[in-house]
Amino acid sequence: MSSRTLFVGDVHGCANELEMMLQLAEPTRCILVGDMFRKGPDELGVWHLIQSHQLEAVLGNHELVVLKKRKKYPLDLVQWVEQLPLWIEGEGNHNGQPISWRVVHAGVDPFHPKRTTRKQAVSMRRYPNDKSKLFPFWWQVYKKKRLVIYGHDAKRGLQDHRPKTLGLDSGCVYGNGLTGYLLEEDRLIQVPSQAIHLPIVE
């Protein structure tokens, strides 16, 4: 069976949509961009899918909240979150062309990706920080060749700046659908949200 690598945007407890995405894409490998839990209706359903499909993931800012409120969650879920990496890198191909990629929840240091801090990885939108809206988004100044796939920005929705960056947080929990990216086909796919669970905020 040929490789089918799927990256999935912020799930936020929307288990039904994640299950639909997995059925639609039939991936051989699936990596979630973080923020798998909280906000949505079925966190434990998401956890069941992660376990049953052996899904991979990077650490998101909402996983940090899970660790703070660990008594609310099953022990095995907490232990899984504790070992999540800040990013995952890989090599592959799409449409016959080689591609290098990195998955992170929020962003990378655009000039020195390997120096990305934990805070940048889980929460950065603008560079050098989010203190001023006059600062550019990190992806606007990122010039490296490795494709960065990320989430964490539902307000701006899907951010398709391939071949440099691809933001997959389309705001599923806010009613705007769950977005995935199939690497080998260089193709975006989307599953409609089954409900609006929250009003969108910054």
**Which residue range forms the structural domain that includes residue 87?**
5-191
Task: Tell me if 139 is assigned to some domain.
Answer: yes
Task: Tell me if 199 is assigned to some domain.
Answer: no
Task: Tell me if 36 is assigned to some domain.
Answer: yes
Task: Tell me if 28 is assigned to some domain.
Answer: yes
Asked if 105 and 32 touch (Cβ cutoff 8 Å), the reply is: no
Predicted confidence (pLDDT) at residue 140 exceeds the cutoff of 60? yes
Task: Tell me if 119 is assigned to some domain.
Answer: yes
Task: Count up the domains in the chain and report the number.
Answer: 1
Task: Tell me if 96 is assigned to some domain.
Answer: yes
Task: Tell me if 82 is assigned to some domain.
Answer: yes
pLDDT of residue 201: 63
Which CATH number does the domain housing residue 94 bear? 3.60.21.10
The helices-and-strands tally (H runs, E runs) of the chain is 5, 10
Residue in this structure with the two tokens 């890198």, named with its chain if needed = 89
Beta-carbon contacts of residue 92 (< 8 Å; ≥ 6 apart): 3, 5, 98, 99, 101, 183, 184
The whole-number average pLDDT for the span 174-184 is 97
Task: Tell me if 105 is assigned to some domain.
Answer: yes
pLDDT of residue 177: 97
- Cβ neighbours of 1 (radius 10 Å): 5
Predicted confidence (pLDDT) at residue 202 exceeds the cutoff of 80? no
| Residue-averaged pLDDT of the chain | 96
**Span of 18-22, 45-49, 96-100, 106-110 with lowest mean pLDDT:** 96-100
The whole-number average pLDDT for the span 136-164 is 97
In the three-class reduction of DSSP (H, G, I as helix; E, B as strand; rest coil), residue 51 is classed as: helix
Pairing of strands 29-32, 5-8: parallel
Q: What angle do CA 55, 187, 119 make, to 5 degrees?
A: 50
pLDDT of residue 70: 96
The whole-number average pLDDT for the span 137-158 is 97
- Cβ neighbours of 55 (radius 10 Å): 21
Predicted confidence (pLDDT) at residue 53 exceeds the cutoff of 80? yes
pLDDT band at 1 (very low <50, low <70, confident <90, very high): low
DSSP for 62-73, please give it. Answer: HHHHHHHTGGGS
The whole-number average pLDDT for the span 98-112 is 97
Percent of the chain with pLDDT over 90: 94
Predicted confidence (pLDDT) at residue 175 exceeds the cutoff of 80? yes
